[in-house]
Amino acid sequence: MAWEHRFSVAVSGIGMSAITRSAEKPLAALALEAVQRAVADSGLQMDDINGLATYAELPAAGHTIIDGLSIVSVNAMMTMLKLPNLRWHLQNETVNIGGAVQTATNALIAGVCDYVVVWRALHNPTGIYTAPPASHVGGPQQFTAPYGFSGIVQSLAAEYARYLERHGQSREKMAALAIAQRKHANLTPEAYFHDTPLTRDDYLNSRMIAYPFCLFDCDIPVQGAMAMVLTRTDRARELRPKPALLAGYGQRIKVEVGGRIASVADYMAAGSSSSNLTWERAGLGPQDVDVAQIYDGFAGSTIYGIESYGFAKEGEALDFVQDGNVEIGGGLPINTFGGSLSAGRLHGIWHIAEAAMQVSGRAGAHQVPGAKIGFAGASGANINATTFVFADEPY
């Protein structure tokens, strides 16, 4: 049975900072800019905002965390904004930015606030993104780091090698997804690689990072921030932009066996445990979706999402992405802003915002014509798997 709160909360304004490769401004300044632009996009005044939510983690090991430079906490944002009418705030620790959006939705439904801004700010540290393990390693790393097997890229690469060999697939097929997403980035002015094309030869000749992942299977770390205004649908209809109505959401409720080496979780169980909640709440299924944003921290994550969320059968996602099927104009356009691979690593908020923009008809040159139902999987299908369905109108 569909969710009783289906369509009762909506995404209104969306704003973002410039996306740059390195830290030209303190991260807090970029987060502030994104929040101000989202509020202005809605046509609201800052004093109207009475809820704040973020997921603040710097997803890179081995760096000193400085609030305002490497993260922007909810306290930092409260300090900058001095909101006179603030009634509710949240900085969640699990399920990434999708969890912040979902909990903000719950707060709006509960009536404890009226206009929430959710933001995500991402720092790109100087030097190596994920610092190598220390000379002596305790905790879970004692079973991986001695083997030179410690970064997230290697864990996900091992999982992807297993995927490819179990399903008799070839890594070269991923070129089609990388190229589709780059074409979408070329249509998205805010995307980091807006001006840079990617050819099949570029992909096939790129250097290997951790087999089977080559350079173009890895997302591009950036410095930047994005924010969105959420409010109840009745209020959203009185604001400037056409709202995107939240039809349903879910989060992963199945976890891999605790403590196993590396991230070789059962992605089908993990991803579908989230999307099944979303499909049930929204009262529709993957066949009804016009456009999908599926998290791509590494390209393999999108493959697992396509399958576990129900868009293709297990083992067939690399075939699903061939022949333009996931490009704008194809059967199911995916990551229509370029994704983390080509637009930049904003760690999931851009996926949610793009799903909303598409059903609001506000995606500009990367708009999928007539998109009414948009899906977002805002974190790795094999990891946190927060999922969303947005609709242009109640159905």
Partner 1 sequence: MTMSNWSAVKRPIPVPNDLTRAFWDGARRGELLFQRCHTCGNRQHPPAPTCTNCVSTDLGFEPVEGRGTIYAYTVMFHSGDRRFADAIPYASVIVELDDAPGALIAGNLLGVPYTEAHIGRRVRVVFEPLNDEITLPQFELDQ
**Residues in touch with partner 1 (CB under 8 A):** 128, 130, 132-151, 153-154, 157-159, 161-162, 165-166, 207-212, 257-262, 264
Asked whether the beta carbons of 332 and 307 are under 8 A apart, the reply is no
Rounded to a whole number of angstroms, the minimum distance from the CB of residue 86 to partner 1 is 40
Q: Which is nearer to partner 1, 63 or 242 (CB)?
A: 63
Rounded to a whole number of angstroms, the minimum distance from the CB of residue 185 to partner 1 is 24
State the Cα–Cα distance between residues 49 and 87, nearest whole angstrom: 9
State the Cα–Cα distance between residues 317 and 313, nearest whole angstrom: 7
- Nearest alpha carbon to residue 341 among 131, 202, 180: 180
Rounded to a whole number of angstroms, the minimum distance from the CB of residue 91 to partner 1 is 28
Q: Which is nearer to partner 1, 111 or 138 (CB)?
A: 138
State the Cα–Cα distance between residues 62 and 141, nearest whole angstrom: 13
Q: Which is nearer to partner 1, 59 or 285 (CB)?
A: 59
Rounded to a whole number of angstroms, the minimum distance from the CB of residue 133 to partner 1 is 5
State the Cα–Cα distance between residues 123 and 346, nearest whole angstrom: 9
Q: Which is nearer to partner 1, 165 or 234 (CB)?
A: 165
Q: How far is CA 317 from the centre of its chain?
A: 19
Q: How distant, in Å, are the alpha carbons of 166, 258, 336 from that of 275?
A: 24, 22, 20
Rounded to a whole number of angstroms, the minimum distance from the CB of residue 379 to partner 1 is 21
Rounded to a whole number of angstroms, the minimum distance from the CB of residue 8 to partner 1 is 39
Q: Which is nearer to partner 1, 78 or 208 (CB)?
A: 208
Three-class SS of residue 63? coil
Q: Indicate the residue type of 118.
A: V
Beta bridge partners of 334: 292
Q: Which is nearer to partner 1, 7 or 213 (CB)?
A: 213
